A = this chain, B = another copy of it.
Amino acid sequence: MKINVEKCAQILREKDNILILTHAHPDGDTLGCGFALCRALLKLGKKAGVICADDIPGKYDYLYSNMDVFEFEEEYVVAVDVATENLLGSLSDRYGGRIDMCIDHHGTNTEYADKLLLNADAAAACEIILKVIKALGVQIDRDIANCLYTGITTDTGCFRYASATSNTYRAAAELIDLGADNGTINRVMFETKTKTYAALERLAIEGMEFFCDDRVCVITITQDMYARTGSNEQETEAIAPLTRQTEGVEIGLTIREKEDGSCKCSVRTFDSVDAARLASSFGGGGHKQAAACRFDCDVRQAKELLVAKCKELLQ
């Protein structure tokens, strides 16, 4: 059942022992949502916690570093920024089919939760969580503001993408006034490359391939490249935007080899191509200009399948 912000806040006020699920391969938006909502619920005197199937990259430490942690038996389960249950990764085994509420901004949300608060116009799910926390009547402190700002800035590529609306900018302004440290957060998220990532990025750029009259750019990240640079998959978030930066490119594909030899592809496009549509041809999903899908085959085969599909879409 779809609900609005007020209903969502009303339900949360009535519940306790709330477990918040974030998506696997976590990003700033799902984590920002999770920890902001958790902090707000704790301020209401409730027990709440956040879990994720995968390790949380170190750069997100500040989202939860000074947050109280409680032991509790979950009574209410909320997924944030999770479009489909399988995006929960290994958590879907335990929580699949029993998620009470989902708060999300993906138009492709499969409505798997009992209650769904969805706003596909929000550039980041954190924009929706900001409204929920205000509706809960919780005073937003600096920590909550930092969580929410983190989600908004990371999901918009630091306000760069067309998805960022005037509401997105206003939400950011409000959070800065409430204490969000925008300069430091953007520095950590966008201006800081570890030495291992810098090395990986250099290899990635060297190996860039172009197809369909240079309208498609492909970067392939292999396990061997991690081994050579000391980098790892957690560090590859910033690679995908590189694929669509060269003049004339309409589709950017980043194919990442997993440890088992299968792979995952991040799709980035501009207005002319619907990234979610391309990804959905391979069972994936996402937004109009940013989407993803998985492949059971190896990177070479995945690349062939993807490039063939791109040819079709660009015709």
Contact = CB atoms under 8 A, between A and B. Distances in A.
B193 A247 contact: yes
Interface in A135-177: 153, 158-167, 169-170, 172-174, 176-177
Q: Report the copy number of this chain in the oligomer.
A: 2
Nearest to A208: B198
A17 interface: no
Contact of A246 (B161, B167, B195): B195
A160 B270 CA distance: 22
A186 B170 contact: no
Given A170-B170, A177-B166, A193 B159 contact: no
A246 B202 CA distance: 13
Name the residue in A160, A163, A174 with the highest tally of chain B Cβ atoms < 10 Å from its Cβ: A160
Contacts of A247: 192-195
A187 interface: yes
A314 B161 CA distance: 37
Nearest to A153: B159
Nearest to A184: B162
A45 interface: no
Contacts of A158: 158-160
Describe A's contact surface by its main secondary structure.
Answer: helix
A244 B191 contact: yes
A143 B91 CA distance: 49
A174 B166 contact: yes
Interface string A179-201: 00011101100111111001000
A245 interface: yes
Contacts of A173: 166-167, 169-170, 173
5 contacts: A169-B170, A173-B173, A192-B245, A198-B245, A205-B205
B166 A245 contact: no
Given A173-B170, A173-B173, A162 B183 contact: yes
A241 interface: yes
A228 B158 CA distance: 33
A270 B188 CA distance: 12
Given A161-B183, A165-B176, A191-B245, 6 more contacts: A162-B186, A164-B182, A169-B169, A169-B176, A191-B244, A202-B205
